[in-house]
Amino acid sequence: MDELIRHGFEARKDWSAYYTTAVESPARYHNRPDCEDGSKIAEKDLRAGTDGRQLCEKCRAAQRPPR
């Protein structure tokens, strides 16, 4: 695993922003590890951060738990 992949993987586990480098329309980012769409992102496509994208609707609709 290279650094970018590891960071993306850690971001998803840690309720941080992550996104896929795979083509999708519209492009979105996620912040829930259990997001139905986000959890489908393959590790090789997983990156940490928002990439300036809109938050995924499923992530936005869900309540973020207290840390």
Among 38, 41, 47, 48, binds Zn ion (CB under 5 A): 38
Burial class of residue 25 (count of CB atoms within 10 Å of its CB; 0-12, 13-18, 19+): exposed
CB of 55 to Zn ion, least distance (A): 7
CA 28 to chain centre: 8
Q: Which of 17, 6, 5, 16 is nearest to 67 (CA)?
A: 16
Binding positions for Zn ion, 48-67, rule CB under 5 A = 56, 58-59
Instruction: Rule CB under 5 A: say whether 8 interacts with Zn ion.
Output: no
Instruction: Rule CB under 5 A: say whether 30 interacts with Zn ion.
Output: yes
Residues contributing to the site for Zn ion (CB under 5 A): 30, 35, 37-38, 56, 58-59
